[in-house]
Amino acid sequence: MNLLKLSGIKSLILDMDGVLWRESAPIGDLSHIFQKIKQLNLKVVLATNNATRTPRQYVEKLAGFGVEVTEDQVINSSMGVAYLLSKRFPDGGSVYVVGESGLTQALEDAGFHQSEENCLAVVVSMDRNINFEKMKKATLLIRSGVPFYGTNPDRTYPTPRGLIPGAGAIIGAIEIATDVAPIIAGKPSPTLYEFALERLGTTPQETLIVGDRLETDVTGGQRLGCPTALVLSGIATREQAEKHQPAIDFIVPTLGDLVNLFNDR
C-alpha cells in the first residue's frame, strides 16, 4: 500500500453499486464512514454509470442509511452526456433520445429538448420501453449524419435473478445498425471524472477514485491520471485486481478499510 500517496489526497470520487451497497444492503456502517470522511476534510462526489436514476433518488437512498449528501454531490452518465453535448453545442437545441426520464431530465437541465427536427445529436441509453420504431428513428438519423452519443457502455446490469441487458446492449444494437461508434460519456471514458473534478475543484493527483470494477472505475481513473482504489466488496476479486496493469494504488476489502488508512497518513 502506498500510504505516501494518501497524504496529498483532498477529495474522493466514489462509485456507488458495490462500494456503498449491494442491492439494498449497505456495505459497512455508511453513516460512520461518511462522518470520518468529513473529519478528514475530504470532499466527495458520487459518480455512477447508471443513467436511469436522478441525483435526488440517490440522496434519498443515502439518507435511508443515515448519510447526508446534497444533489450536487451526485453525478451519473446522463449528466456526463449532457456535459459533453454542452461543450459541443453551448446554445443547446434539439436531440433525439432513446432513454428514460433520468436522461431526458439531465438533457433538459442542460438546454436540450427532445425533437426529431433539426436534431443536433442522437442520445442512447438504458430504455426499458425500447421498441423497433425508436431504434429505426435513431438509426435513420445517425445514418443521415447526426452525431451518435451513448451514456454508458455497461452491457449488463446485475439483478437478484442474474444479469439483464444494460445500456450497452441497446447502444450496441444501434451501433450495429448504423456502423457508427458512439461517443460514450460514462466510465471508462474520462468524461464523468472530468465533470466530477470540475465540481470538486481538485486536480487529478489530489483526487482518489474508488470503485469495484477494473474495466470502468479503475481504468477511467487511470486514464485521467488519478490515484485509484479498488474495493473488494463488489465485482472484482483480489486476484483480478492484483493482475491489473497499470497497478492499482490501493486494494482494500471495503470503503471503511480505505478510510481507516487515512488515519496513518
Residue with the CB atom nearest Mg ion in the bound state: 18
> Which residue's CB is nearer to Mg ion, number 139 or number 151?
151
Q: How far is CA 213 from the centre of its chain?
A: 11
Q: Write the interaction track for Mg ion spanning residues 179-218; mark x where CB under 5 A is met and - where it is not.
A: ---------------------------------x------
> Which residue's CB is nearer to Mg ion, number 104 or number 207?
207
Q: Is 154 in the site for Mg ion (CB under 5 A)?
A: no
CA-CA distance, 132 to 136, in Å (whole number)? 6
Minimum Å gap between C-beta 186 and Mg ion is 12
Q: Is 168 in the site for Mg ion (CB under 5 A)?
A: no
Instruction: Count the site residues for Mg ion by CB under 5 A.
Output: 4
Q: Is the alpha carbon torsion for 30, 31, 36, 39 positive or negative?
A: positive
What backbone torsions phi and psi does residue 262 show, to the nearest 5 degrees? -65, -25
CA-CA distance, 6 to 229, in Å (whole number)? 11
Q: Are 131 and 124 in contact (CB under 8 A)?
A: no
Q: Is 15 in the site for Mg ion (CB under 5 A)?
A: yes
Q: Are 75 and 44 in contact (CB under 8 A)?
A: no
Q: How far is CA 176 from the centre of its chain?
A: 24
Minimum Å gap between C-beta 65 and Mg ion is 16
Which one of residues 14, 18, 146, 229 is an interface residue with Mg ion (CB under 5 A)?
Answer: 18
Q: Which residues bind Mg ion (CB under 5 A)?
A: 15, 17-18, 212
